[in-house]
């Protein structure tokens, strides 16, 4: 989970640098990937090793934020760029 989304963050940075995606929305998407993947993975790890949750609905919140971040990246690729 973390490795896949880390490469997605690097890809978003490369796409922003080349001007392929809208910069503002792309950066928001990349930050969403980082926060959401960390939240999701941390909650699953804490559940496994400590036997309790990070906080209620942490994993579903992280998963939902991942989906929203992917949708934001799709919007960033379709958004008109000034040029």
Q: Tell me, yes or no, whether 27 lies in a domain.
A: yes
Domain count, the chain: 1
Q: Tell me, yes or no, whether 83 lies in a domain.
A: no
Of residues 29, 27, 35, the one with CA closest to residue 63: 35
Q: Tell me, yes or no, whether 33 lies in a domain.
A: yes
- Residue 69, domain extent: 2-78
Is residue 17 packed enough to be buried (19+ CB in 10 Å), middle (13-18) or exposed (0-12)?
A: exposed
Of residues 7, 5, 24, 8, the one with CA closest to residue 16: 24
Q: Tell me, yes or no, whether 62 lies in a domain.
A: yes
Each residue of 49-75: pLDDT tens digit?
A: 999 999 999 999 999 999 999 999 999
Residue 13: what pLDDT? Answer: 96
Task: Read off the pTM.
Answer: 0.89
Mean pLDDT of all residues belonging to the chain: 93
Q: What percent of the chain has pLDDT over 90?
A: 88
19 against 80, higher pLDDT:
19
**Quick check: 82 pLDDT over 70?**
no
Q: Tell me, yes or no, whether 40 lies in a domain.
A: yes
Which uninterrupted H or E stretch holds 83?
Answer: none
Cα–Cα distance between 77 and 16 in angstroms, integer? 10
């Amino acid at each position: 989970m973390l490795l896949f989304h880390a490469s997605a963050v690097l890809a978003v940075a490369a796409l922003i640098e080349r001007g392929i995606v809208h910069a503002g929305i792309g950066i928001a998407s990349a930050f969403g990937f980082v926060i959401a993947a960390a939240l999701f993975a941390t909650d699953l790890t804490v559940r496994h090793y400590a036997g309790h949750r990070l906080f209620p609905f942490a994993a579903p919140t992280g998963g939902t934020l991942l989906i929203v971040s992917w949708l934001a990246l799709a919007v960033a690729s379709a958004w008109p760029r000034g040029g």
